[in-house]
Chain A
């Protein structure tokens, strides 16, 4: 019974949103708007709840001397610094200069440093890929090597030939594969979205 009620709620709200997408009707707009506002409220409540849970989890770790204490301290101090900068009296919130400085001087470089590891980890992924599936990884590595050769900065007739080869590689096989993937994703997103809107992906065992 409980499942039927939930499924009915999902079905009704899903159809409401779907109809509002296609039909212009003031009442429908209001109803769909109300549903969207509830969703925003839910997301906001969940975000606050997630933050509180994170603080509680790391505070408990510190109290119990469990896990990575230094990491917990860094996280709690970081959260406190951002909250203090954004919520202190006179602050303009997320656009406050102190918040912007913290983001630009600390968060952005930290994130950039993490992403700078991509090259190293890509090589490691290739190593792992070779260990797992030689055929697919070999194909991928071969294609990557071919593209790198085609993009070599060589002048003259050979350079023109390589450049046109690189353009063909990008525009024909790569674009074809990419479009094929996107078309497949689009079709199955539509199917999955319909299943979700119609409450068919619930617990059905």
Chain B
């Protein structure tokens, strides 16, 4: 009957064998550099003593008040997730902005659910629509307002940047709150003007460096360049999230240690050391 020691040595052997049969895709130095950068960044955002108070980026702190005013006046809220989507043929950085926009959507959806304001989300990517659906469902779950979920709608407006721009222009109208968050390209001005044009209060957010002027001109609040990601991080900064980051840091340290140990074992002759460690 195998005992725990044998099982542990088998598992260690399995790992060292896997490490021994692998090679660095980028070479040792770039790999370590990437991991160190990742660690430093994670450590920075996870430092327990770090200041996590919001800095009022984009005026997002006003969303609850604006939503309350919208509820009083019977207005609705609308959000466009940009035109990059998640599964569309856009660059990874652009598509990642759609993911970064989801916490912002959650923030607005929370406020809309609490205030009972109808919320409409538009996107030109069906995968982003699924993500948005899950985000809205989460908002109604968090705020214990499932009866108001039917007031929220997600609309897929069709494929292409032109579709997003044309839909935004064709459906322009007065809103209590309007937000455009996500990747935008040459369509930026059209989408921003169509969605935000007649809103009582609006936020425009995109990390497209070449489209920085659009949010500054069109939105009451604007998040340009890195601010989109920063705002998403601030909104999601909760206590146990920091704990999870610390745990992840430890995990990465463990992974680095394993990689280094495996590399040393392989460099030092491999099988003998591995055999010694695993007792085989």
Query: Which A residues have a C-beta under 8 Å from some C-beta of B?
Result: 15, 19, 21-28, 42-43, 46-47, 49-51, 53-54, 57, 71, 75, 107, 110-111, 114-115, 117-118, 121-122, 124-126, 128-129, 132-133, 136-137, 140, 178, 181-182, 184-185, 187-196, 198-201, 203-205
Contacts and interface: CB of A to CB of B under 8 A. Distances in A.
B245 A198 contact: yes
B119 to A, nearest CB: 17
Contacts of A49: 126
A133 B215 CA distance: 12
Nearest to A3: B138
B24 A185 contact: no
A46 B126 contact: yes
A184 B24 contact: no
B71 interface: no
B87 A23 contact: no
A52 to B, nearest CB: 10
B76 interface: no
Nearest to B100: A192
Interface stretch (B1-9, B48-56, B160-168, B269-277): B160-168
21 contacts: A22-B35, A24-B22, A24-B24, A50-B156, A111-B162, A117-B169, A118-B190, A125-B214, A129-B217, A181-B209, A184-B225, A188-B229, A192-B100, A192-B233, A193-B96, A195-B45, A198-B248, A201-B236, A203-B106, A204-B238, A204-B240
A51 B156 CA distance: 8
B13 interface: no
Interface residues of B, number: 74
Nearest to B134: A203
Interface string B153-183: 0011010111001100110000000000000
Contacts of B220: 132
A124 B212 CA distance: 16
Given A24-B24, A54-B156, A121 B216 contact: no
B103 interface: yes
Contacts of B190: 114-115, 117-118, 121
Interface string B17-57: 01001111110000100110110011011000000000000
B209 A178 contact: yes
Contacts of B22: 23-25, 28
A77 to B, nearest CB: 14
B87 A192 contact: no
A31 to B, nearest CB: 11
B31 A22 contact: yes
A111 B185 CA distance: 14
A110 B170 CA distance: 14
B238 A192 contact: no
**CB-based closest 7 A-B pairs:** A50-B126, A184-B226, A111-B162, A188-B229, A129-B217, A43-B87, A25-B22
Contact of A129 (B26, B216, B240): B216
A188 B230 contact: yes
B99 interface: yes
Given A25-B22, A46-B127, 9 more contacts: A23-B22, A23-B25, A24-B23, A28-B22, A111-B162, A125-B192, A187-B226, A191-B44, A195-B236
B187 interface: yes
Given A50-B129, A185-B207, A190-B38, A22 B229 contact: no
Given A46-B130, A191-B233, A192-B96, A22 B41 contact: no
Contacts of B103: 201
B142 A205 contact: yes
B121 interface: no
B199 to A, nearest CB: 11
Interface string B216-236: 111010001110011011001
A24 B197 CA distance: 51
